[in-house]
C-alpha cells in the first residue's frame, strides 16, 4: 500500500515545482495603465474638490462667528459684564473681549482672522447709533444675555465668487442666525 502512495506524491511535487509553470501576475504595462487612469481621474476631480472646499470656508466662518457670539453671551451672563464682539472690516479680523477691562486688558479676549478668500461687512447698525470699540463697529452683549439695541443688526460674509451669508439679529434680540439672504 505504501508503494502506491509514494509515486503519486512524487509526481505532484514535480508538477508544482516544474520550471515554466504558469503563474498569474500583473505585467508592467498593466500597472502603468492603471497609474495613468488614476492620474486622469485625479486631475478631473481636483478642481471640483477645490471648489467644494472653498465653498465650505464661507459656511465654516459663519458658524465660527456665531459660536463666538454665543461665547460672548455666555461670558456676559456668567461674569455680569457686557461683552463686545468687534469687527475690523479692512483687516478681515474680529474678536471678543469684556467691555470694561482694567490696565491688563481682558486675559480671555479672542482675536480671529477671516479666511483669506472671505470679507466681512457690517451692513446696518442699531437704531440709536452704532456701538463702537476703538472706532470699530461692535456687537454688545448685555449681562442679561441680550444684544444691545445699538449693535449692528446684520453682518455679511462674502467669498471670492460673490456668494454671501448673512448673520442677522433675531427678532427677540437674543442672538444672531445665519441666512443665505438678507431678508
The domains of the chain, with CATH numbers, are: 28-179 (3.55.40.10)
Residues 130-151: tens digit of each pLDDT = 677 778 889 999 999 899 988 8
- Return the ∠ at Cα 170 (arms to 164 and 171), rounded to 5°: 135
pLDDT of 34 > 70? The answer is yes
Look at residue 15 and tell me whether its pLDDT is greater than 80: no
Which pLDDT belongs to residue 46? 83
| pTM of the full structure | 0.67
Chain center to CA of 169: 22
| β-pair type (176-179, 110-113) | unpaired
What are the pLDDT digits (tens) for 48-105?
A: 777 666 667 888 899 999 999 999 999 999 999 999 999 999 999 999 999 876 566 7
- pLDDT value at residue 86: 92
Per-residue pLDDT at 80: 92
pLDDT value at 6 more than 60? no
Amino acid at each position: 500500500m505504501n508503494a502506491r502512495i509514494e509515486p503519486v506524491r512524487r509526481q505532484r511535487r514535480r508538477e508544482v515545482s516544474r520550471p515554466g509553470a504558469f503563474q498569474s501576475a500583473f505585467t508592467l504595462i498593466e500597472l502603468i495603465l492603471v497609474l495613468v487612469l488614476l492620474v486622469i481621474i485625479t486631475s478631473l476631480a481636483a478642481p471640483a474638490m477645490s471648489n467644494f472646499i472653498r465653498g465650505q470656508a464661507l459656511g465654516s466662518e459663519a458658524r465660527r462667528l456665531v459660536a463666538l457670539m454665543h461665547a460672548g453671551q455666555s461670558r456676559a451672563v456668567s461674569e455680569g459684564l457686557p461683552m463686545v464682539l468687534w469687527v475690523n472690516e479692512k483687516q478681515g479680523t474680529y474678536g471678543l473681549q469684556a467691555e470694561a477691562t482694567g490696565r491688563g486688558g481682558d486675559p480671555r479676549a479672542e482675536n480671529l482672522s477671516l479666511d483669506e478668500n472671505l470679507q466681512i461687512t457690517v451692513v446696518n447698525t442699531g437704531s440709536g447709533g452704532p456701538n463702537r470699540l476703538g472706532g470699530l463697529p461692535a456687537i454688545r452683549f448685555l449681562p442679561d444675555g441680550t444684544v444691545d439695541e445699538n449693535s449692528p443688526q446684520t453682518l455679511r460674509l462674502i467669498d471670492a465668487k460673490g456668494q454671501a451669508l448673512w448673520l442677522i439679529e433675531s427678532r427677540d434680540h437674543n442672538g444672531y442666525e445665519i441666512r443665505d439672504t438678507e431678508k
